[in-house]
Structure 1
Amino acid sequence: MLTRRQFLSGAAAPLAAQTRRRNLVFILVDDLRWDALGATGHPFSKTPHIDRLATEGALFTNAFVTTPLCSPSRSSFLTGRYVHATGVTTNGDNAALSHRLITFPRLLQESGYETAYVGKWHMGTDDSPRPGFDRWVSFRGQGQFEDPEINVDGRSSQVKGYMTEILSSHAVDFVRRRRSKPFCLYLAHKAVHGPFTPAARYARDYAGQTIRRAPSATDDYRGKPALARPVDAAGGDKNKKKKKGSALPSGDELILNQLRCLRSIDDGVGEILAALSETGQLDNTLIVFTSDNGYFWGEHRLGDKRWAYEESIRIPMLARLPGVIRPGMRISQLVLNIDIAPSMLEVAGVKPPATMHGRSFLPLLRGRTASWRDDFLAEYFQEKGNPRTPTWQAVRTSKWKYIHYPELPGMDELYDLAADPNEMNNLISDPKSAGALAVLRRRLGELLKQTA
């Protein structure tokens, strides 16, 4: 792990002086897949306030996480670095490590911003305040939806109410504070993560709606030996306690409850927008809304996330900033969670550290797309408690996806996403695809070396 001096070398100094520095609001949802919003095409999900961000700002139509798992993804959002560099590679106890991360809010605080963290930290079970935040509202681990224990600036107490509403209320209070500094608010919701408990007033929403399943819901795993392999309780490929498949596919009620939980998040976005407007700050504030990873709704007979398939790594991402982002913009380039930190810093007039792997997406908002990335590296590290999903590394381009399983020889996968968007036909042994495979294998090595 880099020392703080190494990380900050040549960074954190404000760029050219701005007469009025932008405020920053970053809203992170847990386990929200890219197509669960009205703005991204869901047939009945009600998200009017979130959709407003797309109407008045930009929708990133090809946004992805580099690791589709809660704790690792959060470390990448905060630092702009791959998890093999942050060290937060699993959902294990990363508490001590997370106190040492050089996060973009920490750099903003050092450059004159007032900063707040509100919500799920989920890098270890320690809920104590982390460096870089003037205001801290969080909880241990996953927390709970109803009457949760909340840590406010180092003091924990049980609070009556529904978690999403409690977090949104703290976020609104921070926005409404009188201050002489610009601010950065990082709001990380517990929802729509399990146990998928909606607010009481939304508990019957969408009753009777039909959940449409993708063609891959009946995947027979031909061409997916990593998914088809038997796995024993200890994680080895043994004959003991054979178990095929993965987590049970998401049932209809689970999916509906995720969307019901989303209703409360959308209410909170509306409250934040109202608070910004009423305090005269709305048009001077960059708002970014996204998720820590995707979620399987039965595709490939899977639930949860973790795998390299589209439903797991693809996320919703929306941004609003008048004067910089034209209303109704659609950004089709490959944008990653590691791009958030450098983008936030650039908007604030702070030079992103050279050690960040991500890139500011501001050039895309200005129409400068020529030098943008054509591919990206994604990765996952096997967890002790989840032997079904092996370690993998993947390269995704606009057309191809190559998935490499370093510990499972002969089980790699290759998909032509243009012809096979559901990732059903593994072309790893197809002679006609041998040229593309060679390029992608070489590119995987290059990307790993570049981000070492």
Structure 2
Amino acid sequence: RNRGYRTAMIGKWHLGQPWRPSLGYEYWVALTIGHTVDFWNNHVIDNGKSLEIKGRHIVDYLTDKAVEYIENYDGTAPFYLQLNYDGPYVNPPTNLGPAKNRFYKSYLGQEFKSFPRLAFNKNLAQQILEDEKHPPFVVEKLFEALQMHNDPETMANVASQNTLVDDGVGRVLAALKRRGLARNTLVIFSSDQGNFYGQHGIWEHTTATTPSNLYETPMNIPLIFRHVGHIVPGRRSDALLGQYDLPVTLLDYLGIDDAVFAGSPGRSFAAILKGADTRQGRDAVFFEQEETRGVRTKRYSFWRRLEGTGMPELYDMQLDPEQKTNVYGKKEYERVAARLSRQLDTFFATYSNPKYDLWHGGVAKGSLMRPSMFQRLYGKDWQPRTELLPAFTEDVGAHRTGPAREPLAD
């Protein structure tokens, strides 16, 4: 917005309160919940108006709003539209059993070869057996995961949710074409996370297991760029990128070089979009899920847990791409594990905000799956924190993005 763009956010907002525009957005249509319990009955803040959206699938509603925004675009300034779909949502109750959307019936009776058929995960089964040790919400999610596991109707539900989003994206692209904007609009398709749909015997999120896991399925997300006439279609890249690289890459591609992301490790990889070697990615990317931290290099995936919550895991992605065998502790991998562990420490020591550093007594910005885990480590007074922070402001022109340094090497 500070660079002359019209700004819009439509959909799910997981970065603070949803009741009024955040981070410089002008046009604001936001769901008021984080965990979806019904696609057909939702509360939305539509540019200051409080609306109940009933009898219409929320994905279709959000698509309608995005198409409407594009149709009403007056062309007086460039626009930035962020469309955050609330689907596919592979978390019960929305994906448990049959679905009501218009694509569901076409998937009934299908074989679903892409869905793994494995035994229910032992970690989840053990938690069910020890249900008195876990919060009721966790136990409820585990029982729902057990119901979904290898269930054909749930598989059809998940497939139909994906198709509903595909249909919505197609409608948005068609609206751009109708308005003559397709060649002058950069379109990015990505996701906040992946989800399990049977891999490793797990459904739902990385926090389903205890301790949390960082398997490839939820951590490897789609990232597609489309700019007609500028980005060569069909090119694929195996470059390693982190989500923290996306804002810097976007601004660099657009030629905006006077913004700063303080404390961020983000680097621009816009050169890949413009035709550079598609392998020129990072040596390593880093993850965190509550008590579990991880680093992914081109060959290895290494996770370490906060002391007292679980053991490390190491996977050789070249020899074991499906992550079936944890090789941590094997003599031939000792030096690899030690090196990756040092990288993990260096990265988080450099970029963690002490206030929110869960590994050193910091608080959570929002909800946690198992807050009792941290209370056991830090005392009963420790609590996740919800607070209203000052509105975002930027000192325009005070900094330039420039290339961020690569603090670590593989």
TM-score, normalised to structure 2, is 0.72
Residues 146-201 of structure 1: CA deviation (Å, up to 9, x unaligned) = 15332111111223522111111110111122131000000001111141385542
The within-5 A match list for 1:190-339 is 190-193=86-89, 194=91, 195-196=94-95, 198=99, 200-212=101-113, 217-218=118-119, 233-235=132-134, 247-248=145-146, 250=149, 251-306=151-206, 307-339=213-245
Structure 2 letter corresponding to 1:379: E
- Determine helix, strand or coil for the equivalent of 2:102: helix
The answer on 1:179 being equivalent to 2:80 is: no
**Alignment gaps of 5+ in structure 1:** 1-108, 382-390
Name 1:392's counterpart in structure 2.
292
Tell me by how many angstroms 1:420 deviates.
0.9
Matched AA of 1:376: V
Partner of 2:301: 401
Query: 1:430 and 1:153 mapped to 2: Cα distance?
Result: 57
Q: 2:115, 2:155 within 8 Å by CA — same for their partners in 1?
A: no
| Corresponding position: 1:427 with 2:327 | yes
**Residue pair 1:392, 1:406 contacting (<8 A) in 2 also:** yes
Cross-structure match for 1:140: 32
Question: What is the aligned partner in structure 1 of residue 4 from structure 2?
Answer: 112
1:301-325, Cα deviation, whole Å (9 max, x unpaired): 2111222011121112211013431
In the superposition, relative to structure 1, how do residues 261 and 423 fare at CA in structure 2: closer, same or farther (>3 Å)? same
Residue correspondences, number: 327
Pair 1:378-2:287 in alignment: yes
Matches within 5 A, 1:338-349: 338-349=244-255
Ranked by relative contact order (alpha carbons within 8 Å, sequence separation 6 or more), the top structure is 1
Looking at structure 1, the residues matched to 117 and 318 of structure 2 have their Cα atoms a distance apart, in angstroms, of 16
Identity fraction in percent: 29
Distance 1:214 1:400 in 2: 24
Q: 1:371: how far off? A: 5.7
Structure 2 alignment gaps of length 5 or more:
207-212, 353-410
Closer, same or farther: CA 284–231 of 1 in aligned 2, 3 Å: farther
CA contact (8 A) 2:301 2:314 kept: yes
Return the alpha-carbon distance in structure 1 between the equivalents of residues 131 and 332 of structure 2.
36
Q: Secondary structure at the match of 2:342?
A: helix
Deviation at 1:209, TM superposition (A): 0.8
**C-alpha distance in 1, partners of 2:83/2:240?**
24
Counterparts of 1:244 and 1:199 in 2: how far apart (Å)?
A: 24
CA distance in 2, matches of 1:362, 1:129: 29
Residues 327-381 of structure 1, C-alpha deviations (whole Å, 9 max, x = no match): 1100111122222211222233222415232222312222146763111111111
Cα distance in 1 for partners of 2:219, 2:249 equals 20
Shift of 1:287: 0.6
| SS of residue in 2 equivalent to 1:429 | coil
Q: Counterpart in 2 of 1:103?
A: none
Partner of 2:47: 153
Distance in 1 between the 2:311 and 2:249 partners? Answer: 37
Aligned equivalents of 2:265 and 2:111: distance in 1? 41
